[in-house]
Copies of this chain bind each other. A is one copy, B any other.
Amino acid sequence: MQMIEAVPNFSEGRRMEVVDAIAAAIQTPGVHLLHRTSDWDHNRSVLTVAGEPDAVVEGLFQAVRVAADRIDLRQQRGVHPRLGATDVVPLVPIQGIDLAACAVLARRLGQRIGDELGLPVYLYEAAATRPERRNLADVRAGEYERLVEEIHLPQRQPDFGPTVVGSAGAVIVGARPFLIAFNVFLKSSDAALAKRIARAIRESSGGLPAVKALGLLVDGQAQVSMNLVDFQSTPPHAVVAVIEREARSLGVEIDRSELIGLLPQAALLAAAAHALRLPELPADRVVEIAIRQAMELKSGRRFS
């Protein structure tokens, strides 16, 4: 069974009846709403859905349609930057599917949004058609207001849909690996220690691949705040081991960690194998997973 996740962001975090309508629209058959969160100041809502690829793509299309009907970017204000009513739609491979296949799905969804809803669509990250569109912040630069003025320029030509910006703005669609948001608290109130560790581990300053990190003070405690943007390159247990070593060299200790959101099963298995000193720990060595596999083999389905 193939399984993807999508984490669409909508530019509405105040009118709950609008977010409810979007959340209802997204749940077409086979689409499971795992999480939703709305922020008044950002005036933005983030839904997390999962299911088989075709089901999720259909649910996303329906949600984009409702958001375009109900959200008017000419009125919308919030502290979070945005280009459209549905601002960004990342597709994430979970099981039985890779990033390249998710990029294909993203392009298919983008084309349908452009053709059937008449919205300009930009493809980003693994689905990007130009290198300068890989980075989300670059695609969103200037937000809705500047896109209205600039969409006729060659460099702002959408990947799908019309070269015209209406009240729903544009939609940014793409594919990316699963992102793990993970923080490590130090036994210290000195933000400088967290900043030094963050600098040592983040990719941009020569640290670990696919690690973004900041050092800050949270409730008076030093915290290394991270996004692990490709846990297959650098899994969270490897990051913890390096932070532990760096911290020790600075004369400080790890207090505890904090997981924001969810962890993929593969990262869980890898962390447990590390703790148990097992060279490998395949999913089917876990009782509950082995039972499910036996059940699903019998029923003709497969979900490891």
Q: Is the CB of A237 within 8 A of B276?
A: yes
The CA-CA distance from A18 to B32 in the complex, in Å, is 46
The CA-CA distance from A146 to B43 in the complex, in Å, is 79
Q: Which of A239-283 contact B (CB under 8 A)?
A: 240, 254, 256-259, 262-265, 268-269, 271-272, 274-279, 281
Which of B254, B265, B278 interacts with A286 by CB under 8 Å? B265
The CA-CA distance from A210 to B206 in the complex, in Å, is 46
Which of B34, B182, B258, B276 interacts with A236 by CB under 8 Å? B276
Residues of B within 8 A of A104 (CB): none
Residues of B within 8 A of A285 (CB): 259, 262-263
Q: Is the CB of A274 within 8 A of B277?
A: no
A153 at the interface (CB under 8 A from B): no
Q: Is the CB of B277 within 8 A of A254?
A: yes
CB of A205, distance to nearest CB on chain B (Å): 23
- Which one of A71-79, A82-90, A196-204, A287-295 contacts B? A287-295
**In the complex, residue of chain B having the shortest beta-carbon distance to the beta carbon of A184:** B277
The CA-CA distance from A31 to B265 in the complex, in Å, is 26
Top 7 nearest A-B pairs (CB, nearest first) are A32-B294, A271-B272, A275-B275, A271-B275, A257-B277, A237-B275, A265-B288
| Residues of chain A whose beta carbon lies under 8 Å from any beta carbon of chain B | 3, 5, 32-34, 50-51, 94-95, 178, 182, 184, 236-237, 240, 254, 256-259, 262-265, 268-269, 271-272, 274-279, 281, 285-292, 294-295, 298, 303
> 28 A-B residue contacts at CB 8 Å?
A3-B291, A32-B291, A32-B295, A33-B294, A34-B290, A50-B287, A182-B276, A184-B277, A240-B276, A256-B277, A256-B279, A257-B277, A259-B276, A259-B281, A259-B285, A262-B286, A263-B281, A264-B288, A265-B286, A268-B269, A268-B286, A271-B271, A271-B275, A271-B276, A272-B272, A272-B275, A274-B275, A292-B303
